[in-house]
Structure 1
Amino acid sequence: MLKRQSNGMMEKNLSYTPYDGSSTPFTIGLLQLDPARWIEPDGDLSYHLSKKKKLFAEHGERVFRAEPGTEQAQQEIIDALAEYLPAHHPAIYRRTGSLMEMAGHTVDLADDRSPPLLSAGFLVQDDLVIMRKGDNGWRIAAAFLAFPSSWSLADKFGKVMDEIHAPVPDFAGGSRNAGLINRMFDNLSPDRFVVRWNWSVNWGYALYRPASQPAHETDPMQPRDAFVRVERQTLRKMPVSGDILFTIRIYLDPVTALAGQPNGKELASSFADQLEALTPEQADYKGLLRKRDSLIAMLRKMATNPATVG
């Protein structure tokens, strides 16, 4: 049964655990995705949509930007979502004319006062980013980014992939990973959906984590207060515009929740292994230099006796 916590999050079994050894940090790690699993709404849908509306009202261009000339591409995306969501999640999404209803929220799909990508973002928990190819490579041409993971839309908007990934260890321009990403974007076909995973650690619960709000590694929170921030990222090339839609879904799980999973010991052990394997540059990028050792110690204890952590 789902239970709302005081921070607004729903208590539930962990949806995804890429730190279990199935996904290696700081690699591209693309996997084929069944198109039927493109978007995966869950019991947090209403809460996430409410947060998105509040964040846009408060921050405006910090969470939504779009280049002139992307309107048709934006419309292609909302049309794709309007077709997909009620077909694959009929228990959650119901369309009547131009109105889409879901989890206590309603979006007018034909509202010409709202950019189509903005309306599309109010349909799903995922953030939506349009990548468009220009003379210098693939750039962010439009985005509804309500839940960034320590980056800023204002800083990255209009930049190409090499510039976007410049601060990421092993992904800077000229690196093997940078070349692979650009080739993958070029070669992605409209009938192929792909997915990849990323994770980080937050010292506290916050969906909205822009670059101006770091992971608070210097605050007095203890390892038991940490949250694993899992990103489920999907990529698909839109058949009409040729742009690539990049979706980012955030899952925030207390680290202590690992102890309650059927494979909790194994999860804690593999997560500790991945933390230990990070280079100093990688750990610094993830904001884990100061608290990594204490977090690893807690995970090792959890792997031995989960009942002692809580």
Structure 2
Amino acid sequence: MSEAGLARTPYDGSATPFTIGLKPLDLAGWLEIDALRAPYLAEKRRLFAERPGDVFAQEAGTDDAQREVLDLIRDYLETRAPDLSRPEARAGEPALKAASLAVQEDLVLMRRGPEGWRLAAASLCFPSSWSLAEKFARPLRDIHIPVPGFGPGTRNEALIERIFDNLAVERPVERANWSLQNNPALYHPLSALERGIRAGAEPTRFDPAAPAASAFIRVERQTLRRLPRSGDILFTIRIHLDPMGKLRAHPDGARLASAFAAQLEALGDSEIAYKGLAADRDLLVAALREMAAL
């Protein structure tokens, strides 16, 4: 759960779902370090011990770029958190894994090739309803096939490729998005088959008697940063996970709940299906409207 609760709220009207929504990133706050660091890193270590093939993948030839990521993270921690130990890769250990086990973010390395930008390496312990095995080594246009408005041939597909091509070392960017799940799991993968089933006429995933108590708000804070030596792009993902009911105690909870309800109501059929909320939108909107009225 987020340290202070609802640390990031892209559903508050400041961002529009299913848009790129990038903004400049201040590198002084590139990575987030908070009181949840210990449990997040413990969960990463558990996943690497129990299912390493599900949470890590690398192409041959990415060793130097991985080392570049490790060096950047070591330098960042030295400046921003000098009391923390510096990550070091043991003999035979991928540098990207060592880097990931030192920060709360997942780390994804994107590389340019003949088919555009592709996922060339990743330490992904906390996927938000996708599978690393299915996305590894795939170009962006294929990775985004399930996302409404972002698949092959769309304007957004071309725009994202241009953004990646033109991203300058000195101008990193960030964005955030949200989803809802019915459990507090950080490790939340979903295969394409499971996503298709979820998008269909699935029964409710939340408790009809207490939807706010059974729903968890999952926010991804994402950053994009071009690596100065390799030219690859590092995509970082920090997960914030909070019970929806925490809105009740938030000092601005009524406004947040009202804005969240409005975003849910505004989603089109394909968008609500992508988020797996086709059976639950009305239930969740009602719960949010009730909290907004308090």
The residue type equivalent to 1:249 in the other structure is R
Residue 201 of structure 1 is matched in structure 2 by 180
The correspondence of residues 171-250 of structure 1 with structure 2, limited to 5 A, is 171-212=150-191, 218-219=204-205, 221=207, 222-224=210-212, 225-250=214-239
- Relative distance call for 1:176 and 1:10 in structure 2 (3 A) is closer
What is the CA distance between 1:219 and its match in structure 2? 3.9
Structure 1: gaps of 5 or more residues? 1-8, 95-99, 101-106, 306-310
TM-score calculated relative to the size of structure 2? 0.93
TM-score calculated relative to the size of structure 1? 0.88
The residue type equivalent to 1:162 in the other structure is R
- Shifted more, 215-224 versus 148-157: the winner is 215-224
Structure 2: gaps of 5 or more residues? none
The correspondence of residues 39-54 of structure 1 with structure 2, limited to 5 A, is 39-54=31-46
Instruction: Answer yes or no: is 1:35 the counterpart of 2:14.
Output: no
Instruction: Answer yes or no: is 1:112 the counterpart of 2:91.
Output: yes
Residue 104 of structure 1 is matched in structure 2 by none
**Whole-angstrom CA distance in 2 between matches of 1:47 and 1:223:** 26
What is the CA distance between 1:217 and its match in structure 2? 6.5
Instruction: Answer yes or no: is 1:167 the counterpart of 2:146.
Output: yes
Runs of 4+ in 1 over 4 A off after TM superposition: 212-217
**Whole-angstrom CA distance in 1 between matches of 2:211 and 2:57:** 36
**Whole-angstrom CA distance in 2 between matches of 1:299 and 1:261:** 13
What is the CA distance between 1:218 and its match in structure 2? 3.8
Which residue of 55, 62, 76 corresponds with 1:63? Answer: 55
Note the aligned Cα RMSD (angstroms): 1.5
Structure with bigger strand share is 1
What's the % identity of the aligned pairs? 52
**Whole-angstrom CA distance in 2 between matches of 1:202 and 1:32:** 29
The correspondence of residues 61-100 of structure 1 with structure 2, limited to 5 A, is 61-91=53-83, 93-94=84-85, 100=86
What is the CA distance between 1:57 and its match in structure 2? 1.1
The residue type equivalent to 1:208 in the other structure is Y
Conservation of the 8 A alpha-carbon contact between 2:33 and 2:104: yes
The SS at the match of 1:158 is coil
